[in-house]
Amino acid sequence: MTIATVLLAATLAAAANPFPTSGPYVKAPALGIHIGRLQPGRYDAITDVAGVRVGQVTHISGTGNLVPGVGPVRTGVTAILPRTDVWHRKVFAAAWALNGNGEMTGTNWVNEAGWMEVPVVLTDTLSVGRVDDGVISWYLKQYKSIGIEDDVPLPVVAECDDQFLNDQEGRHNTAEDAVAALDAAVGGPVAQGGVGGGTGMMSFEFKGGIGTASRVLPAAEGGYTVGVLVNTNTARRDQLMIDGAPVGANIKDLLPRAPRPGNGSIIIVIATDAPLLHDQLERVAKRAALGLARTGATAMTGSGDLVIAFSTANVVPHYPEARTFQVTVLDQYHINPVFDATEDATEESVINALLAGTTMTGRDGDTAYGLPHDRLLQILHRYGH
């Protein structure tokens, strides 16, 4: 039986307890893991940046040996909307590749224009075209003049390869799934781990997938919020560091029975309400690599390590009649706390994906094991946490 579930980001239970110690909403702080000096936002999620919404569709069906084009299926779609009506109220944005063996469509125009007018959608590698088509369909439904009297969108769709657990040949993420994820996008808590675009992903040879975190700057540093969402499908077990402790080197079992093809990938999406322009957001995107590096991950030749950052502070108008428009810009000499927040939230997002990732068996009986919380806490205690 096929499960095609639109995962709403907010539930009453999660809203009442946004920092549980297990389940799809688990967060590092609930286990005593505190990354950096800054505090998380209310949900410790990318949706702590006002107006940002997340919607997810998850496909889990079938067991046993791979039947190419049929299953088993372990995949999905995650959509991040920067704001309501980003088409007419564009956001400054920048994309950057730490290592480019991956795809994030539409980013040539993002970097050329300096702004973004579409959501960011995450999926598996071979479904990029179908999901891209779905984003266009969603836009045509929202804006009737597109392609007639108005311009046409270039969707931003980013991929990771989930073939270790999933039947990639089946391209089970469809245009309809992209529409459903966008329609379902809401604020509040964001489900993590093996959900949405992260359903079939592995990280550090544990179960990986979607992870998110946020940091809020104190008022004296601007009071801005930085939120990060990752789809982590990268790195080797022996590389894993959590809050400075060599966790991977101390958990040598619970490994997949066969090596995963390629070097894996990670997609990092950064949102902030700090008033930043394109060049500043590119600098912010590069700082995400420092947060990733703290987890032990490295950008290998076969990995697609792609970052996109956007700011909701200003509105870039859609074909204005006026020749100029006004923006507010953070001075470069006051941007360092935003860098700190980005690095910390990226590091914690990867950790949160691992904490939320529960053991999953996919095609050919291959299993990605969840990171055992009890053993993690023992290791952290051993190293002085």
Mind listing the pLDDT tens digit for each residue in 182-206?
999 999 999 999 999 999 999 999 9
Q: What pLDDT, in 10s, does the model give residues 117-159?
A: 999 999 999 999 999 999 999 999 999 999 999 999 999 999 9
Summarised one tens digit per residue, pLDDT across range 15-39 is: 556 678 888 999 999 999 999 999 9
CB neighbours of 294 closer than 8 A, spacing ≥ 6? 241, 244, 343, 347
Cα dist. 353→142, 324, 357, 378 in Å? 32, 43, 6, 19
- Distance from C-alpha of 14 to C-alpha of 382, rounded to nearest angstrom: 31
- State the pLDDT at residue 197: 98
Q: How far apart are CA 267 and CA 104, in angstroms?
A: 9
Catalytic annotation, pick one of 132, 305, 344, 366: 305
The encoded tokens of residue 233 equal: 């499908």
Q: What angle do CA 343, 349, 351 make, to 5 degrees?
A: 110
State the catalytic residue, choosing from 265, 273, 340, 366: 265
pLDDT surpasses 80 at 1: no
Q: Which two tokens stand for residue 336?
A: 């360092």
Calculate the dihedral angle through the C-alpha atoms of 258, 262, 263, 267, rounding to the nearest 10 degrees.
Answer: -110
∠ CA 121-29-220, nearest 5°, is: 85
Q: Output the pLDDT for position 117.
A: 98
Pick from 337, 178, 190, 219: nearest CA to 272: 337
How far apart (Å, rounded) are the C-alpha atoms in residues 272 and 226?
A: 4
Q: Give the separation between CA 50 and CA 47, rounded to whole angstroms.
A: 7
Q: Cβ neighbours of residue 186 under 8 Å, at least 6 residues apart?
A: 8, 9, 10, 53, 54, 55
Residue 349 known to be catalytic? no
Torsion angle of C-alpha atoms 307, 191, 85, 132, degrees rounded to 10: 60
Answer whether 0.85 is exceeded by the pTM: yes
Cα–Cα separations (whole angstroms), residue 77 to 132, 174, 181: 11, 9, 7
Query: Is the pLDDT at 262 greater than 90, yes or no?
Result: no
Per-residue pLDDT tens over the stretch 66-108 = 999 999 999 999 999 999 999 999 999 999 999 999 999 999 9
Note the residue count of the chain.
Answer: 385
pLDDT at 4: 47
Sign of CA dihedral 281, 284, 286, 288: negative
The catalytically annotated residue of 127, 203, 214, 303 is 303
> Does the pLDDT value for residue 285 go beyond 60?
yes
- Using left for φ > 0, alpha for ψ between -120 and 50, and beta otherwise, residue 250 falls in alpha
pLDDT of residue 22: 86
374 is annotated as an active-site residue: no
Element (H, E) at 111: helix 107-113
Q: Is 275 left (phi over 0), alpha (psi -120 to 50) or beta?
A: beta
Q: Is 203 a catalytic residue?
A: no
* All domains of the chain in start order, with CATH: 23-382 (3.60.70.12)
